[in-house]
Amino acid sequence: MTEGSAPVTSHSPKNVTALDSPIWGRSFSDDEMRAIFCSERYLAACTEVEVALARAQAGLGLIPAEAADGIAAASLQPLDHDRLARETEIVGYPILPIVEQLSVTAGEAGKYLHWGATTQDIMDTATVLQIRDGLDLVARRVEGVRRALAGLARTHRDTPMAGRTHMQHALPVTFGYKAATWLSGFDRHAERLEQLSPRVLNVQFSGASGTLASLSGRGLETQSALAAELGLGVPAITWHSIRDGIAETVQTLALIGGSLAKIAGDVAIMMTTELSEVAEPFVRHRGASSTMPQKANPISCELILAGARLMRNHASAMLDAMIHDHERATGPSHLEFSAVPEGFATISGMLAQAEFMLEGLRVYPENMGRNLDHSRGLIVAEAVMMALAPHTGRKEAHDIVYAGCRRAVEGSMSLYDALKDEVALTSHLEVELLKSLTEPRNYLGEAPEMVDRVLAGR
């Protein structure tokens, strides 16, 4: 715990959510993120802001230096958590109860505690400190996912498989190409996280209505000094009722969650018994059924998919939380008490599951090849059509090949066999060319080169 962070005795209510459950907790949330956003850390952050404010004001000569020292010393004493909980229920917010306890402990120095501040100054800045640590952890987890995806893309750059649209075979791709498309989204998420910080990691110190009137012309000076103490940015103007920064943070987490769910959805389908193209890492009994010994369910995928739906709810709540009335809202800020910590906790669990799954993903190229050949060449009907089109025109070429596809399906034959005696086609395309065109592995387009572009510079 950092200097200025008060130890807190823990007398928490019973756990009722999946995030805090002793049964489900570690499946849905990362322990490291839980430590950042737990109530103890939040109260410690509030105390840290109060101590930093006293130091900043002492440095400016607004309060005596010994008062700042006394406040810092008092902050190291444990708070009475039971009393704090009772008083917070009455007041509605924890800052007044914290200030009252610290003031008594600080003695004479307590007269200068919370000088010129208002409750939301402390609460918002404490939340920003948590967000800073949370974003650092999210960025590290995103980097872990990017490394795993880059490894898959590189290893399977040329591993052919069926591309699928509307759950049907479309055209051949490579598994490396699929992994690289996943990776491209996380490259953009890394950019988003970097760009987000300057807009969000700003101090909140503005007084009751946001004008800093209580400090007699030295408010902006105090604000800058407090920001320097905490290593935060200085906003151009008060943001306590303008919540786009906090909302953007949770929306960004939800975007990351959506990308994780895209991967999880693809992997879960590829894990189906009929496809068996990939599998989650083997851990004894992971994904096992109580009655079917053969089962290996996509557990990480399921948790990620569930988490994405929870993230959508938090993102939606934060849009409502932006609607603050005038200079201090009547309720919307309470939505943040749930959406911010739970959003960070949920995305941390999703990222941890994704790292585990992708780092140990078992890939079966032979099954990908088997599935690619399942349609007996129909997957590359476009290749034949595009080769014929310069001779007949695109529409007529489409009609010729379409009729051949219907014969192949109805006669359970290969596309090549369905087309090799079609005079309208063979009068333009030689048999050997037709054989080459109906081989799916010859129609990968520029997928491998696209993988190279995504991996360039890594």
- DSSP letter for each residue of 362-408: EE-HHHHHHHHTTTTTGGGHHHHHHHHHHHH-HHHHHHHHHHHHHHH
Would you call 39 a catalytic residue per the annotation?
Answer: no
pLDDT at 27: 75
pLDDT at 181: 98
Mean of the pLDDT values across residues 162-182? 96
Residue 24 pLDDT more than 90? no
Asked if residues 296 and 288 have their Cβ atoms less than 8 Å apart, the reply is yes
pLDDT at 440: 96
Residue 324 pLDDT more than 90? no
Query: In the numeric block, which tokens belong to residue 26?
Result: 């570690």
pLDDT at 295: 57
Mean of the pLDDT values across residues 203-221? 92
Mean of the pLDDT values across residues 280-307? 74
pTM: 0.92
Which is the catalytic residue, given 11, 12, 289, 334?
Answer: 289
Spatial separation of the C-alpha atoms in residues 141 and 344, rounded to whole Å:
12
pLDDT at 439: 96
Question: Which residue did the predictor score with more confidence, 238 or 24?
Answer: 238
Spatial separation of the C-alpha atoms in residues 390 and 388, rounded to whole Å:
6
Residue 293 pLDDT more than 70? no
Q: List the beta bridge partners of residue 457.
A: none
pLDDT at 244: 92
Mean of the pLDDT values across residues 13-34? 81
The number of angstroms, rounded, from the C-alpha of 117 to the middle of its chain's C-alpha atoms is 34
Question: Which residue did the predictor score with more confidence, 57 or 334?
Answer: 57
Residue 230 pLDDT more than 50? yes
Which is the catalytic residue, given 166, 285, 290, 427?
Answer: 166
Q: Per-residue confidence at 286, pLDDT binned at 50, 70, 90? A: low
Would you call 326 a catalytic residue per the annotation?
Answer: no
Residue 1 pLDDT more than 50? no
Residue 234 pLDDT more than 90? yes
Question: Which residue did the predictor score with more confidence, 358 or 285?
Answer: 358
The mean of the pLDDT values for the chain is 91
Spatial separation of the C-alpha atoms in residues 149 and 190, rounded to whole Å:
14
pLDDT at 220: 96
> Closest Cα partner for 175 from 378, 377, 358?
358
Asked if residues 257 and 303 have their Cβ atoms less than 8 Å apart, the reply is no
Mean of the pLDDT values across residues 144-150? 98
Residue 261 pLDDT more than 50? yes
Spatial separation of the C-alpha atoms in residues 92 and 87, rounded to whole Å:
8
Residue 107 pLDDT more than 70? yes
Mean of the pLDDT values across residues 378-383? 95
CA distances from 365 to 274, 371, 400, 412, 446 (A): 14, 10, 33, 25, 19
pLDDT at 142: 98
pLDDT at 132: 98
Spatial separation of the C-alpha atoms in residues 150 and 67, rounded to whole Å:
54
